[in-house]
Amino acid sequence: MIRRLSCLALVFASTFAHAVGVEPETAQHDITALAEQKIIGNPGYWVEHVITGGKCDGTKVADLLIHAANAFKPTRNREEAIAVMVERHIIGMPDYWLKNAIEGKTCDGGNVAAVLDHLVTRLPVKPVKVLTAAPLEAKATAALNSAYDIIIAGAGTGGTGAAIQAARMGASVLLLDETDYIGGQMNAAAVTSMDEGVTLVRERGLYHELCGQIAAHYQPLGITSTTAYWMGHACVEPHVGRQLLHMMLTDAKGKGTLDLALRTQVVQVFKNGDTVTGVEIASTSDKGSETRKIDCHVLVDATEWGDVIPLTGARYRVGNCISDAINPKQAIQDATWTAVVKQYPQGVPPGFLITQPPPGYTENVQKTFAKALAAGDTTDMKAKPWSFATFIGYRGMPDSSRPGDAPPITRTHLNYGNDFPIHVAEVEDRALRQTACRAMRLKTLHLLYFIQNVLGKKDWAVANDEGFDTPYNRAEIDAWLKDSPEMEPYRTMLYHFSTMAYARESRRIIGLHTLTAGEIDRRAGHSPTLFPNAVALADYPVDLHGSMIPKYLELDLDHESDIPHKFGENGMGPFAVPFECFIPEKIDGFLPAEKNLSQSRMANGATRLQPSTMLMGQAVGAIAALAVQKHVQPRELDPAPVQDALLEAGDTLFARSVSDVSHDSPDWKPVQFVLTRGIMQLDGRKFNPQGEISPAQFEIMKNQVSHGRGLAPLNGPVTRIEAARQLAKWGAPGW
């Protein structure tokens, strides 16, 4: 069964032509971000007229549209600007803006709010300093050290985020991956269309750095990298994303120790009582297999399925079960085996056209695809079925194999209509998982056959330049074809399929706190919980592919009323993930750093995306590195110094927009700290730096700081910003 429009599709389908109720906080964030980038010159005017849903002067709106369009390409007038904004899918119904964005007319504030919100997510990413470090090379098993401060299993966004942060803080790190293609969900599974929600998440920590490196790679080539979701969100070709992560790892290593081992997994965990002390790893290479025992202070599970958790003895959740009472028949989120496809204007290479229906392709299979996808060159997200143009724009990628820039989109990946049902059994039993993964690949072959032969797109085929034809991938395909000789005609294509499944849900530890849907909900004016121990922000809405019915949920954690009936119904925007979600209830020396933190299934539907997992991984890297520095277990840490380290690294931890203290302000870090810790509160939507704090108020605030002693008493009032600076230094030594 074809799933409903997923990810951002429904949001764009519902907001593209008309305004929706953009939340005031989101609108404020958008206005602040656009003012910082000099696109809005008078933010006060837009706050007054947009957030309140009032009327905006038509001339001012026309000027705004021209300034906004110039961020993409030079425009001479309002008409050209509107054409650019339509091309970038920032506005729909251009006639509305042609009629109203003129002198003497007004535009609805809600409509303008929707445009600003779309604009923020589509702005070109600013490049950062280009990395010059050589990509980090993998080491042979025999060359690895006998001990590391931190061992991280899984080199996806969570694992690389943890490794980079920990190495920068001086820890010795060993990063492992079961495949030979790092990047996990983002690169190895080819889901490089970043799921950023509708807020400006590109300002946060390592995800900001990654987006900047992507922009720095493509901009000199004259290529736009915000191609996903109809020219709306950051995207990268998997082979480029892989290369950038290798370079970021080398840069983080510096003169320290950050080793990488590929085609390697943890097969045994050693403990002293309830404390992890080391692991046994197993590696595969062209020379065969070998194992080694390696000691560590902290072990991190950053695998896509949470495969290390059971080896530690930690209790965990899987589906709606707890590990001591597993029901293998319970459903979890669907998984997908993607394939990167591109247009071959000079003809598809030999072996990349499917001329006969693959095994299992039936009339019913074709009818199911036809309900979701049809021929057509016009993009319309509301039309059912989707046209081919809408389909390729959904996960549109940059394409460095051709001259020119997008649009049009000439490279994408197949991730619509080919979801595959997964159950607890496939998580727990690797043999069953392998069978399911093969069936996923076959379903994607079916979709590709449909595209080439029913839709007639014979100039589109699997991309042969993403580097997926690796020893690991070949070994996986060779083993499948040995068991299933009927698949032999597809060998060449399958070697170029992505390296791993897009697994949306994994095992999840039971931690000191379990994040739930109610804590991230934004319904009816409800705000997400502002955890004082927040160490990461996420901002996607709850989005479960399949299994989102009461019998598959954890009704002791979430409620039937938490189920959204359409994408984004319960709101989207920043929500906090607290320190306690990363600390197992009992096992020491162990942390989760992917989709496997302590959370409910529904919360997992909002934290499972690439920006979120990278930032949560960064948090885990800081926790692990500080535990090593202080010679304590992670649970013994005060979260305040962890927050200090993350803020120092450019992360954002306060889950509400602050309109009067920008990210590049020297006071941004102390303001973030005192707001996150709950030591100070916003005045409306502003921090109000010049407001005064009395000595009595300051003493109360000092008692809210959980770390440090010896701050001198005040003899008289000070400004809020002066107090914030002192409290931040006191609460997080080392600032």
User: What pLDDT is attached to residue 44?
Assistant: 87
The residue type of 304 is E
Please, which pLDDT band fits residue 71 given cuts at 50, 70 and 90?
Answer: confident
Q: What gap in Å lies between CA 489 and CA 495, rounded to an integer?
A: 12
Residue 10 has pLDDT above 60, yes or no: no
- CB crowding 578-597: b at 16 or more within 10 Å, else e: bbbbbbbeebbbbbbbbbbb
Please, which pLDDT band fits residue 589 given cuts at 50, 70 and 90?
Answer: very high
User: What pLDDT is attached to residue 661?
Assistant: 87
Residue among 96, 97, 90 at smallest CA distance from 60:
97
Residue 627 has pLDDT above 80, yes or no: yes
Please, which pLDDT band fits residue 142 given cuts at 50, 70 and 90?
Answer: very high
Please, which pLDDT band fits residue 664 given cuts at 50, 70 and 90?
Answer: confident
Cβ-count burial of 220 within 10 angstroms (0-12 exposed, 13-18 middle, 19+ buried)?
exposed
Residue among 131, 188, 468, 418 at smallest CA distance from 302:
188
**β-pair partners for 692:** 719
What does 425-477 look like in DSSP terms, one character per residue? HHHH-HHHHHHHHHHHHHHHHHHHHIIIIIS--TTEEE-S-SS---HHHHHHH
Segment of 191-195, 313-317, 694-698 carrying the highest mean pLDDT: 313-317
User: What pLDDT is attached to residue 25?
Assistant: 72
Q: What gap in Å lies between CA 167 and CA 252, rounded to an integer?
A: 6
User: What pLDDT is attached to residue 710?
Assistant: 67
Helix (H) or strand (E) holding 284: strand 275-285
Average pLDDT rounded to a whole number, residues 493-502: 98
In this structure, what DSSP letter does residue 507 have? -
Cβ-count burial of 462 within 10 angstroms (0-12 exposed, 13-18 middle, 19+ buried)?
buried
556 Cβ neighbours under 8 A, 6+ residues apart: none
Average pLDDT taken over every residue of the chain:
92
- State the pTM of this model: 0.93
Cβ proximity of 720 and 690 under 8 Å: yes
Average pLDDT rounded to a whole number, residues 522-530: 84
**β-pair partners for 374:** 387
Average pLDDT rounded to a whole number, residues 620-638: 97
653 or 572, which is more confident?
653
Residue among 734, 577, 575 at smallest CA distance from 649:
734
Cβ proximity of 339 and 327 under 8 Å: no
pLDDT digits (tens, 9 = 90+) for 214-241: 999 999 999 999 899 998 888 999 999 9
State what percent of residues in the chain have pLDDT above 90. Answer: 76
Residue 8 has pLDDT above 80, yes or no: no
Reported as half-sphere exposure (CB side, CA atoms, 13 A), residue 455 has a value of 30
pLDDT digits (tens, 9 = 90+) for 26-57: 788 788 888 878 888 888 899 889 877 789 99
Residue 734 has pLDDT above 70, yes or no: no
Q: What is the number of other CB atoms lying within 10 angstroms of the CB of residue 71?
A: 16
Residue 579 has pLDDT above 50, yes or no: yes
Per the listing, tokens 């409509």 go with: 111
Residue 529 has pLDDT above 90, yes or no: yes
Q: What is the number of other CB atoms lying within 10 angstroms of the CB of residue 267?
A: 13
Q: What is the number of other CB atoms lying within 10 angstroms of the CB of residue 308?
A: 28
Residue 284 has pLDDT above 90, yes or no: yes
Q: What gap in Å lies between CA 16 and CA 468, rounded to an integer?
A: 36
User: What pLDDT is attached to residue 644?
Assistant: 95
User: What pLDDT is attached to residue 45?
Assistant: 92
Q: Could you tell me the CA-to-CA distances from 194 to 8, 229, 253, 303, 607 in Å, in that order?
A: 10, 9, 26, 19, 13
User: What pLDDT is attached to residue 458?
Assistant: 97
Please, which pLDDT band fits residue 340 given cuts at 50, 70 and 90?
Answer: very high
pLDDT digits (tens, 9 = 90+) for 394-429: 999 999 999 999 999 999 999 999 999 999 999 999
User: What pLDDT is attached to residue 121?
Assistant: 75
Please, which pLDDT band fits residue 709 given cuts at 50, 70 and 90?
Answer: low
672 Cβ neighbours under 8 A, 6+ residues apart: 647, 652, 653, 654, 658
User: What pLDDT is attached to residue 87?
Assistant: 82
Residue among 440, 180, 196 at smallest CA distance from 336:
440
Q: What is the dihedral of CA 395, 400, 406, 408, to 10 degrees?
A: -80
Please, which pLDDT band fits residue 620 given cuts at 50, 70 and 90?
Answer: very high
Q: What gap in Å lies between CA 371 and CA 369, rounded to an integer?
A: 5
Residue among 346, 331, 468 at smallest CA distance from 401:
346
Residue 711 has pLDDT above 80, yes or no: no
Residue 362 has pLDDT above 80, yes or no: yes
Cβ proximity of 300 and 591 under 8 Å: yes
Long-range contacts of 86-93 (CB under 8 A, 24+ apart): 87/231, 87/407, 88/122, 88/231, 88/232, 89/12, 89/16, 89/118, 89/122, 89/230, 89/231, 89/232, 89/379, 90/115, 90/118, 90/119, 90/122, 91/115, 91/118, 92/16, 92/17, 92/18, 93/17, 93/18
Residue 36's Cα: distance from chain center in Å?
24
State what percent of residues in the chain have pLDDT above 70. Answer: 96
User: What pLDDT is attached to residue 21?
Assistant: 61
Please, which pLDDT band fits residue 93 given cuts at 50, 70 and 90?
Answer: confident
Residue 19 has pLDDT above 60, yes or no: no
**β-pair partners for 262:** 177
